[in-house]
Amino acid sequence: MSRFRNVPQGPPIEVFALNKAFLDDPYEPKVNLGAGAYRDEKGQPWVLPVVRKTERLMAQDDFLNHEYLPVLGLDTFSSAATALLLGEDSHVFSKGLAFGVQVLSGTGALRMAAEFLSKQLKYNTFYVSDPTWENHNLVFTNAGFKDARKYRYWDPKTRGIDFEGMIEDLKSAPEDSVIILHACAHNPTGCDPTQEQWKKIAEVMEERKLFPMFDSAYQGFASGDIEKDAWAVRYFVDKGFELLCAQSFAKNFGLYNERVGNLTFVANCKEVAVAVKSQVTLSVRGMYSNPPNHGARIVATILNNPGLFQEWKDCIKIMSRRIHSMRKELRDRLEKLGTPGSWEHITSQIGMFSYTGLNAKQSEHMIECFHVYMLKSGRINMCGLNPENVDYVAKAIYDTIN
Ligand code: PMP
């Protein structure tokens, strides 16, 4: 008899199960709009040319070795990542009030943040947008948070943000609640607050003494402009908030499986920042001891070299422009077909994802009848579209709705 016999079967993780179902599906044509990864116009994964070039340089460097990195990772990486987020001339950075820690991609950054907030600050309540990237809940509850709550975000009627609902919910949140905010390119809705709305969010959070936990998984990838995509985080920092921000380099560098992430801490006192860093060091040491080198070294090399940095900025423009043009193409086709309803949200949403407005039944119909794989929530990855399949997908949506 097994010791493990009472372990219950866990539920499948939708996005991975969907990906497997797509790969196993022998039918053609089929389209994968599920998993959140960039695809080029031929539907293939894209290794950014600047990443390839950097890897070649690294392969020829006889001084690189496989020694352990420090517990908090490569300093040249975490400093450059924090500067990318807060801006080169950020006063908190130069005054020693902010620092970065190299962690295991965006998810690892969130996990480390949740661990710190739960164990060190004893925070117990967190809020996510309704809806949010589904993993926020698992990460925060696994790290010890007992009270998971939602603030209103998506309004199905306007297919935009329910801003009044959001503000109302923040106003009634208990002091010291951790509010998870998507820095840009909200996943899954593709709807970001305007700058005026961010100002109001900051005002309420200050009034109610709420803690901002930013999740920045798409800097540069969203608008094509790294400064623009960091605006909200920088605004909160300028307003004097202490905060954490999880940064992922999976999408904007195309380094999904290298697990390159940074967790930025912003405190309002230098001595406090030093103590915080010492506790994070112990936390990492007790979890995985130290992070991997390869991906972080690629990012550090690119961010610290003006020529490569420019090449990278050109690459994120290529990706964001392609997404933008697929949004336009899809909307045009849906409108030309006379698909019922408004499709304006497809082009006004930003980033990799679009919340189409299709319900669970319609999304399942898209899979079963047309082999177009998408999440039950109606979320599609715009990168899965290309000039060859956009007609097919538009027609599938049209037929599903009619
Ligand atoms: N946060 C959000 C909002 C995301 O969309 C993602 C990627 N899907 C992540 C965090 C983390 O991704 P990763 O761990 O691959 O960096």
pLDDT digits (tens, 9 = 90+) for 34-57: 988 999 999 999 999 999 999 999
Closest ligand 1 atom to residue 261 Cα is 16
User: How many angstroms separate the CA atoms of 75 and 56, rounded?
Assistant: 22
Nearest CA to ligand 1 atom 9: 106
User: How many angstroms separate the CA atoms of 226 and 181, rounded?
Assistant: 18
pLDDT band at 296 (very low <50, low <70, confident <90, very high): very high
Give residue 93's pLDDT. Answer: 85
pLDDT at 94 over 90: no
- 212-265: per-residue pLDDT in tens? 999 999 999 889 999 999 999 999 999 999 999 999 999 999 999 999 999 999
User: Does ipTM surpass 0.95 in this model?
Assistant: yes
CA of 191 to the centre of ligand 1 (A): 16
Nearest CA to ligand 1 atom 13: 106
Residue 261, ligand 1, Cβ within 6 A: yes
Nearest CA to ligand 1 atom 2: 217
CA of 261 to the centre of ligand 1 (A): 10
Residue 249, ligand 1, Cβ within 6 A: no
Q: Which residues contact 374 (CB under 8 A, 6 or more apart)?
A: 18, 33, 34, 356, 358, 363, 366, 367, 380
pLDDT at 170 over 90: yes
pLDDT at 339 over 90: yes
Give residue 107's pLDDT. Answer: 98
Residue 258, ligand 1, Cβ within 6 A: no
pLDDT band at 359 (very low <50, low <70, confident <90, very high): very high
Catalytically active residues are: 133, 215, 251
pLDDT at 24 over 90: yes
Residues 119/124/125/131 CA torsion (nearest 10 deg):
50
Nearest CA to ligand 1 atom 4: 217
